[in-house]
């Protein structure tokens, strides 16, 4: 009897469940719900006569997401290996569906969502693509093994995500998702390959290209004659450098976000006290929620969020480093890259550190399909974590 | 399973990613610190400006008080009705109620209600009762703000002196213009926090910047004297069927104006009302011209040929220059030849032989022309300027008219002769009164004025006004001789109708024909001061175009006499 319990105890402690990661995710989700309610209740009442309209929709998505997460966490992650290629093809096939009338959902002049009949939920194919690509690349890294060190293997790994990236950018006109998908892929290849030189050169090339684009954008907006249409991405770059130059046009959202951050100061105005959410700041509960956090909770609230994201990345690093196999490690690296890139880009946009582009803040921003897929990814990470044998640590 | 070798480089790579991400988060933290601390003030101020809508609160305009503290201009609470477009819930009802209650055309109200602006004023100066009634409708988007409206308790009294204000609390004529900056005060503000659509955020409350009331203005005018003078002027206007009658009463020692009457006056509480008998269907411009004429202060804004009263100046100049003495003898054959022109005396038969005092008592033209000629053009012109006649008096009322006088180089003996008895040039009544005051008060040219001091809401004096005085216009001796001569004019001469039982009055009459000569239009006037040996009060009455008897001695002198019979005891003058 005694021996049996001891063995059971031993068995339990043999495998690892990352409660810290789960706690951080739950904290971010709960915090996000509070902030969504705070940021959206005013507008929700005006539009739907229901202050909790957005919060309730988000809560539904989170509940569904949590169920999926628990499901995924309890399935051994190797189960998904066989679906990798299928997932890759399906995500490629889903993206053009946004263009089909009746199925695609238009918002702000872009088609980025597909209506799921019967559920009343909108699905963003780009989210599906992110998840499927992480899975597909993780499988591919294991497949080509040491070949990733050759130039041919490296190029293959870089070229594999490109069709999806091109689709996302060209069909849904969603530059930010394209950048995120490309970024995730590069990070996974970076981890898979022992080489540094290639990636440093790639980084330098990207930096040079970025500078060139900025210079080109500035000169073209300056040379543009009165009334002449400037490429809208160029316009965004120009207003990034000086948001007050076009305070009512492209610089409007950025400037309103900066007003929010500035008026929050160090301690913030207090939860619920934001002024900017009263129709001043577009997308307050969505892409710009971080500026409402700054306004209500101040620098300290913002730093708390930054720390939570760093801790989340740290937990995922620990899991990736201790993953039982390369496939598990690559899955975790993909998810880690996804969350890191998205969080960094979102906060950079809100603080006007980079030109404005629509990116939501993982776990916190309003957005059902985004939070569901993020929770599925967390489920994968937890599934990897459960396979870690404690004696290996 | 990861091989150990692989594991090491994978781990290093993953750590690199983590560290780079942490580094970027750190950079974003620095950026946030910059925004939240260094830039906070800049953005917070812009945000506050964005969030607040302001409504101004009128400051209570300062009152105008007479020398005894009687309130001549006051404020009454009235309401301003405005609409806030974004808060409207039932625009049709708002249009219906406002156009009905405010008696405005529906189109007018509709235009303002439907205009997309943060706040649109529908009507100001609405009675408080009506404002309360509209407030009781409790219409969303309709604001009733209380403010003040100027109110003049004595309606027409001193209308052209006090002046009135416009809808924005700004002075339009009279003292209300000159002392506008003192009376106006600082308007306050109600700052309301609103959302982007302009809807008030109730929890945020209002921030009020309290208005600062304007200062009260104390003036030298005496309500009783003004009222009595007005009554006399109206009487004369009626009995003599004159065009207008002006009376100015002043303290010759310091220039304080006790009364300034120009009948017909107008109702300060309805300044835009056209006088009775005005033909209808006049153009806007014609109506405005009529109103401008109605609002003119004849004592200050209009010039006239003073006539014989100006002989006081000629006589004073002659005495001061020593070209005549009281003993000088003049002979009047009824006319005088100046160069090739024969200028008649008003008494065609002539005054015969007379001393200087009698020339003034008789108001003898040839004698005074002789004095003028003795001074010569240069000499006379010098005194004209020395007495301050070429400059304005500097009275604290708007639109003072300047003197219209020959250029010195254009003046020959004929012009000199006519100027000497008060013709061929024009001055304002206030100019004449001021100059005569400085001749009889010992030679000090004072500045006529109304404003004495401003007083704050607690009754403390905020500012006492001082006015320039120039001395040695004439010597004490000349001044004293002039007082004697002018007392004789009233006692035994042409000004006898200005005599007041029990008081020593000095004065001079004038009857001047207006241009063009021969039109039969005259201006009858009289200047009188008391007591003759130590003048404390000086008054001028001018009757413009009297019908029937038109002599100053018959028409104007009795007005001043009746005035003095009442106000000398009132002022405590012995």
Nearest to A365 by CA among A28, A87, A91, A100: A28
Write down the pLDDT at residue B1.
Answer: 44
Taking the alpha carbons at both ends of chain A, their separation in whole angstroms is: 29
B227 contact partners, CB below 8 Å, separation of at least 6:
B154, B157
**pLDDT over threshold 70, residue B98:** yes
How large is the average pLDDT for residues B552-565?
92
Say yes or no to pLDDT of A220 above 60.
yes
pLDDT tens-digit map of B474-516: 999 999 999 999 999 999 888 889 999 889 999 999 998 887 7
Average pLDDT of span A33-49: 89
- Say how far apart CA B204 and CA B96 lie, in whole Å: 32
Query: What's the mean pLDDT in A249-266?
Result: 84
pLDDT given at position A120: 65
Q: What local confidence, expressed as pLDDT, does residue A109 receive?
A: 67
- What is the Cα–Cα distance from B36 to B531, expressed in whole angstroms? 80
Quick check: B47 and A264 CB within 8 A?
A: no
User: Regarding predicted confidence, which is higher, B78 or B72?
Assistant: B72
Mean pLDDT of A253-257: 86
* Mean per-residue pLDDT, A251-268: 86
DSSP 8-state class, residue B172: -
What pLDDT score does B158 carry? Answer: 92
**pLDDT at A10 (0 to 100):** 47
Q: What is the pLDDT of residue B563?
A: 94
From the options 3.30.40.10, 3.30.479.30, 3.40.710.10, 3.40.50.150, give the CATH code of B260-266+299-571.
3.40.710.10
Question: Comparing B574 with B310, which gets the higher pLDDT?
Answer: B310
* Segment A217-238 mean pLDDT: 69
pLDDT score of A14:
63
Name every chain A residue with its beta carbon within 8 A of the beta carbon of B40: 262-266
What integer pLDDT is reported at residue B205 of this predicted model?
63
Higher pLDDT, B353 or A46: B353
Q: What is the pLDDT of residue B162?
A: 93
Judge whether B16 and A336 are in contact, CB under 8 Å. no
Place of tokens 């490109």: A162
Q: What is the largest CA-CA distance in chain B?
A: 148
A102 band by pLDDT with thresholds 50, 70 and 90: confident
Q: Stretch B339-367: mean pLDDT, rounded?
A: 89
Partner-chain contact B2 A266, CB within 8 Å:
no
Dist CA A314 CA B483 (whole Å) = 109
State how far Cα A215 lies from the chain centre: 28
Q: How many beta-carbon pairs below 8 A join chains A and B?
A: 134
Active site residue B308: yes
All residues of chain B having their beta carbon less than 8 Å from the beta carbon of residue A324 are 1-2
Is B17 in contact with A276 (Cβ distance < 8 A)? Answer: no
Residue-by-residue DSSP string for B45-85:
HHHHHHHEEEEEEPPPPPPEE-TT--EEEEEEEEEEEEE-G
Can you list the alpha helix ranges (DSSP code H) found in A175-251? 175-192, 197-223, 232-241
Long-range CB pairs of B8-16, under 8 A, 24+ apart, other chains included? B9/A194, B10/A191, B10/A192, B10/A320, B10/A321, B10/A326, B10/A329, B11/A321, B13/A190, B13/A191, B13/A194, B14/A191, B14/A317, B14/A320, B14/A321, B14/A329, B14/A333, B14/A336, B15/A317, B15/A321
* Range in A143-152, A364-373, B469-478 with the lowest mean pLDDT: A143-152
Of A354, A24, A69, A11, the C-alpha closest to A214 is: A354
- pLDDT level of residue B47 (50, 70, 90 thresholds): confident
Chain B residue numbers touching A306 (CB-CB < 8 A): 25, 28-29, 32
ipTM of the complex: 0.91
Q: Residue A227: which pLDDT band, with cuts at 50, 70 and 90?
A: low
pLDDT bin (cut points 50, 70, 90) of residue A224 is: low
Task: Tell me which chain B residues have a C-beta less than 8 angstroms from the C-beta of A344.
Answer: 21, 24-25, 28
Q: In 10 A of CB B519, how many CB atoms?
A: 10
CA A5 to chain centroid, in Å, comes to: 44
Alpha-carbon gap, residue A157 to A150, rounded angstroms: 11
Q: What is the mean pLDDT of chain B?
A: 88
Q: How many CB atoms lie within 10 A of CB B457?
A: 14
Report the mean per-residue pLDDT for chain A.
Answer: 86
**pLDDT tens digit string along B141-150?**
888 877 777 8
**What is the pLDDT at residue A1?**
44
User: What CATH homologous superfamily does B54-219 map to?
Assistant: Penicillin-binding protein 2a (Domain 2) (3.90.1310.10)
Nearest to B242 by CA among B559, B558, B557, B544: B544
pLDDT at site A313: 95
Q: Are B429 and B436 in contact (CB under 8 A)?
A: no
Q: Do B17 and A262 touch (CB under 8 A)?
A: no
- CA nearest to A324, candidates B72, B10, B323: B10
| pLDDT tens-digit map of B388-445 | 999 999 999 999 999 999 998 989 999 999 999 999 999 999 999 999 999 999 999 9
Check pLDDT > 60 for residue A392: no
Q: Please tell me the total number of residues recorded for chain B in this structure.
A: 574
Measured between beta carbons, the chain B residues lying within 8 angstroms of A320 are 10, 14
| Positions of CATH 3.90.1310.10 in chain B | 54-219
Task: For residue B199, give the chain A residue with the closest CA.
Answer: A278
Which of A266, A310, A323 shows the shortest C-beta gap to B37? A266
Put simply, the answer to whether B14 touches A347 (Cβ < 8 Å) is no
Q: Residue B142 has what pLDDT?
A: 85
Instruction: Decide if pLDDT at B277 tops 90.
Output: no
Q: Is the pLDDT of residue B532 over 80?
A: yes
Beta-sheet pairing, B216-219 with B451-455:
antiparallel
CATH 3.40.710.10 positions along chain B are: 260-266+299-571
Mean pLDDT of B241-247: 93
Per-residue confidence at B455, pLDDT binned at 50, 70, 90? very high
Question: Among B99, B244, B308, B424, which one carries the catalytic annotation?
Answer: B308
pTM over 0.90: no
Residue of A40, A290, A321 to mutate for B, most B C-beta atoms under 10 A: A321
Q: How far apart are CA B440 and CA B309, in angstroms?
A: 13
Sign of CA dihedral A292, A293, A296, A299: negative
* A250 phi and psi angles, rounded to 5 deg: -65, -25
* Best residue in A267, A275, A288, A337 for a mutation probing chain B (most B CBs within 10 Å): A275
Residue B118 confidence class, pLDDT cut points 50, 70, 90: low
Contact by Cβ (8 Å): B416, B377? yes
């Amino acid at each position: 009897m005694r021996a049996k319990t001891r063995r059971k105890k031993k068995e339990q402690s043999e495998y690892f469940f990352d409660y810290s990661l789960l706690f951080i995710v739950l904290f971010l989700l709960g915090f996000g719900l509070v902030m969504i309610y705070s940021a959206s209740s005013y507008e929700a009442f005006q539009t739907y006569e229901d202050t909790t309209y957005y919060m309730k929709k988000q809560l539904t998505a989170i509940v569904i997401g949590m169920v999926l997460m628990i499901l995924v966490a309890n399935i051994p992650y190797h189960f998904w290996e066989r679906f990798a290629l299928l997932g890759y093809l399906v995500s490629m096939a889903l993206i053009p569906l946004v263009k089909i009338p009746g199925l695609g959902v238009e918002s702000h002049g872009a088609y980025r969502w597909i209506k799921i009949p019967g559920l009343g939920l909108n699905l963003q194919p780009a989210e599906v693509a992110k998840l499927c690509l992480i899975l597909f690349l993780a499988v591919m890294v294991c497949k080509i093994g040491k070949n990733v060190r050759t130039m041919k293997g490296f190029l293959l790994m870089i070229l594999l995500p490109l069709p999806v990236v091109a689709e996302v950018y060209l069909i849904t006109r969603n530059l930010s998702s394209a950048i995120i998908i490309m970024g995730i892929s590069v990070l996974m290849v970076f981890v898979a390959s022992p080489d540094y030189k290639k990636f440093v050169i790639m980084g330098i090339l990207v930096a040079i290209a970025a500078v060139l684009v900025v210079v080109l954008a500035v000169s073209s907006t300056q040379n543009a004659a009165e009334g002449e249409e400037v490429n809208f991405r160029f316009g965004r770059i120009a207003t990034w450098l000086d948001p007050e130059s076009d305070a009512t046009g492209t610089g409007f959202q950025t400037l309103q976000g900066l007003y929010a951050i500035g008026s929050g100061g160090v301690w913030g105005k207090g939860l619920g006290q934001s002024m900017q959410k009263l129709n001043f700041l577009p997308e307050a509960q969505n892409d710009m929620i971080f500026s409402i956090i700054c306004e209500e909770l101040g620098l300290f609230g913002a730093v708390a969020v930054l720390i939570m994201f760093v801790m989340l990345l740290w937990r995922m690093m620990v899991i990736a480093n201790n993953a039982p196999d390369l496939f598990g490690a690559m899955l975790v690296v993909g998810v880690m890259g996804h969350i890191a890139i998205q969080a960094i880009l979102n906060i950079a946009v809100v603080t006007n550190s980079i030109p404005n582009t629509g990116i939501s803040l993982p776990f916190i921003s309003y957005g059902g399909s985004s939070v569901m897929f993020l929770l599925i990814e967390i489920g994968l990470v937890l599934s990897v974590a459960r396979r870690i044998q404690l004696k290996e640590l | 399973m990861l091989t150990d070798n692989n594991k090491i480089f994978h781990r290093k790579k993953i750590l690199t990613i983590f560290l780079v991400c942490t580094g970027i988060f750190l950079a974003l933290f620095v950026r946030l610190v910059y925004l939240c601390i260094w830039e906070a003030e800049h953005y917070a101020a812009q945000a506050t400006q964005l969030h607040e809508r302001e409504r101004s609160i009128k400051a209570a305009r300062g009152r105008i008080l007479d020398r005894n503290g009687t309130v001549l201009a006051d404020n009454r609470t009235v309401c301003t009705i405005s609409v806030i477009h974004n808060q409207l819930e039932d625009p049709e009802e708002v249009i219906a109620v406002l156009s009905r209650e405010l008696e405005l055309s529906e189109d007018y109200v509709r235009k303002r209600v439907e205009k997309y602006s943060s706040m649109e004023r529908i009507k100001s100066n609405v009675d408080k009762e009506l404002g309360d009634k509209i407030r009781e409708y409790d219409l969303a988007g309709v604001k009733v703000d209380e403010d003040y409206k100027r109110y003049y308790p004595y309606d027409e009294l001193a209308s052209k002196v006090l002046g009135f204000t416009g809808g924005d609390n700004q002075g339009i004529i009279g003292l209300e213009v000159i002392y506008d900056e003192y009376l106006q005060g600082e308007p306050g503000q109600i700052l309301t926090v609103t959302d982007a659509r302009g809807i008030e955020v109730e929890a945020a409350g209002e921030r009020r910047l309290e208005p600062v009331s304007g200062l009260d203005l104390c003036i030298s005018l005496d309500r009783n004297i003004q009222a009595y003078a007005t009554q006399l002027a109206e009487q004369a206007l009626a009995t003599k069927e004159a065009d207008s009658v002006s009376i100015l009463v002043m303290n010759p020692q310091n220039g304080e104006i006790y009364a300034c009457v120009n009948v017909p006056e107008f109702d300060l509480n309805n300044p835009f009302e056209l006088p009775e008998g005005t033909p209808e269907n006049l153009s806007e411009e014609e109506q405005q011209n009529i109103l401008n004429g109605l609002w003119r202060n004849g004592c200050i804004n209009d010039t006239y040929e003073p006539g014989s009263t100006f002989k006081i100046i000629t006589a004073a100049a002659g005495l001061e220059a020593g070209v005549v003495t009281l003993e000088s003898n003049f002979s009047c054959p009824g006319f005088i030849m100046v160069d090739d022109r024969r200028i008649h005396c008003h008494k065609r038969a002539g005054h015969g032989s007379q001393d200087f005092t009698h020339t003034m008592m008789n108001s003898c033209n040839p004698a005074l022309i002789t004095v003028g000629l003795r001074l010569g053009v240069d000499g006379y012109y010098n005194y004209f300027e020395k007495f301050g006649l070429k400059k304005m008096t500097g009275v604290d009322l708007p639109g003072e008219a300047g003197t219209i006088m020959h250029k010195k180089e254009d003046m020959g003996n004929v012009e000199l002769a006519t100027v000497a008895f008060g013709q061929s040039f024009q001055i304002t009544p206030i100019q004449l009164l001021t100059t005569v005051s400085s001749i009889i008060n010992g030679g000090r040219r004072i500045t006529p004025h109304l404003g004495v001091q401003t007083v704050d809401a607690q009754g403390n004096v905020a500012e006492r006004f001082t006015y320039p005085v120039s001395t040695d216009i004439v010597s004490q001796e000349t001044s004293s001789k002039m007082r004697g001569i002018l007392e004789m004019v009233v006692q035994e001469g042409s000004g006898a109708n200005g005599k007041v039982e029990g008081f020593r009055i000095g004065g001079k009459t004038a009857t001047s024909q207006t241009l063009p000569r021969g039109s039969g239009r005259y201006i009858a006037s009289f200047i009188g001061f008391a007591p003759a040996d130590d003048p404390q009060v000086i008054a001028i009455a001018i009757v413009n175009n009297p019908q029937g008897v038109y002599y100053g001695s018959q028409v104007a002198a009795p007005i001043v006499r009746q005035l003095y019979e009442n106000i000398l005891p009132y002022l405590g003058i012995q």
